[in-house]
Structure 1
């Protein structure tokens, strides 16, 4: 039995993100995609629209000097347009490093990602790593 299309879509997204292939990543999202990042750091907030989501990813790379990495552990689906991923992310910022487990809850519409709700293991630690909102 093959992989569910929603799981395959999420895996393609992680692969594109990890390779820095923003063109492919953008093609997997709806134009009005939203990514919700928890906490109160300069990376936190609600990013609406493909260009704003991709700009947030560029800022993530900039803040971490290109060191941000994510290791996908698993993807689960409900078969009704939702998928959940579990991953570990690592990055360096200045003289500080971080490694944390987290995940994303995806809403998928028309075989494209329309919404990503992010969860992290320790919001306070993530906020401290990225620094206060500007």
Structure 2
């Protein structure tokens, strides 16, 4: 059987590859100008980041707070064929004397072959909040 990847799944994979390689130009090209990333919890990394520039700044802060150790290991990409993709991953980071490894995912909404909405989920919101802490 031949595997034909759905275009929405391919878009999601390109986004993860761009993020992982630090290619923010490519990542920006995959997002709508008015996209939003929604992060769970009550930490300094939680909230609603609206607009491509704010979403990219949020990703930059992930790297800043972890001295560049933040990384994501993509485990699965599941499109519904109607403009949504569920991505499952494991993320890893070090911050100060603390490390974290946690499963999570992104639920993407795709409009016009670009990602317009990223809803983030994590396996343990309280643990994620403890890792990220409050704004300094």
Partner of 2:45: 43
Distance 1:74 1:57 in 2: 21
Distance 1:3 1:103 in 2: 19
Total equivalences in the alignment: 134
Partner of 2:11: 9
**RMSD of the alignment, in Å?**
0.7
Give yes or no for contact 1:36–1:116 (8 Å, CA) kept in 2.
yes
> 5+ unaligned residues in a row in structure 2: which ranges?
none
Partner of 2:114: 112
Deviation at 1:98, TM superposition (A): 0.1
Distance 1:128 1:94 in 2: 13
1:94 to 93, 96, 99: 96
CA shift digits 1:63-87 (9 cap, x unpaired): 0000000000000011000000000
Structure 1 runs of 4+ aligned residues shifted over 2 Å read none
User: How do 1:27-38 and structure 2 match up within 5 A?
Assistant: 27-38=29-40
Deviation at 1:133, TM superposition (A): 4.1
1:60 to 59, 62, 74: 62
Give yes or no for contact 1:44–1:133 (8 Å, CA) kept in 2.
no
> 5+ unaligned residues in a row in structure 1: which ranges?
none
Deviation at 1:2, TM superposition (A): 1.7
Q: Is residue 2:79 matched to residue 1:77?
A: yes
Deviation at 1:26, TM superposition (A): 0.2
Deviation at 1:132, TM superposition (A): 1.7
